[in-house]
Amino acid sequence: MLPVNISLQQVKQGMITADDVLSPSGQLIIPKNTALNPRLISRLKLYNVKMVCVIITEDVAQELNAKAEKNKPLNPEKTTQEFKNFNRTYQDMANDLEAFCKAVIERPYESHDPAPIIDQILDLAKTVKNTLHLMNTLQLLREYDDTMYIHSISVALIAHTIASQQGISEEDMRSLIFACAFHDIGKVQIPPEILYKPGRLTDEEFATVKEHAQKGYEILNKARFPQEIQLAALMHHERCDGSGYPSALTMDKIPFFARVIAIADVYDAMTARRSYRKEICSFDVIEEFENSGYQKYDVTLLLEFLTSIAQSHLNNKVRLSNSLIGTIVMINKHKLSKPVVNIDGTFFDLSKQKDISIIELL
């Protein structure tokens, strides 16, 4: 049996109130643990009660979710020519990046010009309208592919958003995109049965995966790429509090590019669908960063990035953990993961409603 807040339209005969139902003026209308009947439901309407906390069974909760899922509109963006073009360009870029990485590894002493790769990514970044457009598009792309090369391009686009908020120069932006494109090149030397294992890694397997940072540095060093590109590959898993790898560096020892890539890399990984879990809602990702990220990542970069993500979801419809659907109407600047949601004229401040959270963006 579950206590949930539901709208008056969802109330059914036989449901039992989980709390006292009060009028807008605070008058007791129906006491706790009362089975609702047509007369009591009419009384709720008379007093203009919008939400009622009732006890429902798991079956009813699943029914509410099923109805909400059935009424969920299909994402029209998948069928637009704009998205089809974006997806095609993305796939072509991933193929080009894969070919380039292989050439660098197989012929490290030859001259390799990354300018075409950088130009492609920057041109694609120009087609992104805003943070919400970028995050939605990247989420749609995951249904098609999620290889290392797709991930690297996604990280580059997210890093472009982060760095743009800092107003870096055009030259530095090109170098950052260069670093993003090759930050994971060391994974080419990780056994594919570990790298693409359909499930959680063992401690031993994870230790092997962690070697990609050092291997990437060695590949880029052998190819004589600029030192800032080499260090970005080596240090993008370092954390400002010293909890990262491979050298447990603190913030003052981690270069800017690596600090930017660290945030973009983790955000893209956390929002991706995995064989052992669904993709994580962006507000859950924001909360995860709020809980531990301000110690691990450059707080100036992180706070501006998370704020832009949260703000981009204003007026977005969401499904809450109590099965209800509402609209985000305000962002709490002190708790970005807990916005204010409007449900049929009733406003829920999720920073104060500890038992309710956003589980899905609609």
Cα R_g (the chain), whole angstroms = 24
Q: Are 146 and 197 in contact (CB under 8 A)?
A: no
132 & 194 share domain:
yes
The answer to whether position 309 is within a domain reads no
pLDDT at 183 over 60: yes
CA distance 128 to 130: 6
Domain range for 223 is 78-280
128 & 263 share domain:
yes
Question: Helix H segments across the chain?
Answer: 38-46, 58-71, 81-106, 115-126, 131-141, 148-164, 170-181, 192-195, 203-210, 212-222, 227-235, 256-270, 282-288, 294-296, 299-312
206 & 131 share domain:
yes
Into how many domains does the chain fold? 3
Q: What percent of the chain has pLDDT over 90?
A: 54
16 & 37 share domain:
yes
Q: Could you give the C-alpha distances from 292 to 100, 264, 339, 354, 356, in angstroms and in order?
A: 36, 16, 19, 19, 21
36 & 156 share domain:
no
Q: Which residues pair with 349 in a beta bridge?
A: 340
Q: Cα-flanking dihedrals φ and ψ of residue 49, to 5°?
A: -75, 130
> Any idea which of 222-226, 239-243, 286-290, 317-321 has the lowest mean pLDDT?
317-321
95 & 238 share domain:
yes
Query: pLDDT (tens digit, 9 = 90+) per residue, 59-73?
Result: 666 666 665 555 554
187 is catalytic: yes
> Any idea which of 142-146, 166-170, 234-238 has the lowest mean pLDDT?
142-146
Average pLDDT of the chain, as a whole number: 87
* CATH, residue 28: 3.90.105.10
Question: Helix H segments across 271-333?
Answer: 282-288, 294-296, 299-312
Q: pTM for this structure?
A: 0.79
More confident site: 38 or 146: 38
Q: What is the pLDDT of residue 132?
A: 77
Which of 71, 92, 115 is the endpoint of a domain? Answer: 71
The answer to whether position 228 is within a domain reads yes
For residues 81-106, b (16+ Cβ closer than 10 Å) or e, as one string? eebeebbeebbebbeebbebbeebee
> Within 13 Å of residue 43, how many CA atoms lie on the same side as its CB?
15
Q: Which residues pair with 28 in a beta bridge?
A: 22
322 & 194 share domain:
no
Query: pLDDT (tens digit, 9 = 90+) per residue, 110-148?
Result: 999 999 999 999 999 998 888 878 877 887 776 545 688
Q: What is the pLDDT of residue 74?
A: 44
**Which residue is catalytic, options 70, 78, 102, 187?**
187
User: Among 221, 284, 295, 287, which residue's Cα sits nearest to residue 262?
Assistant: 295
The answer to whether position 289 is within a domain reads no
Question: Could you give the angle at the alpha carbon of 64 between the alpha carbons of 63 and 67, nearest 5°?
Answer: 85
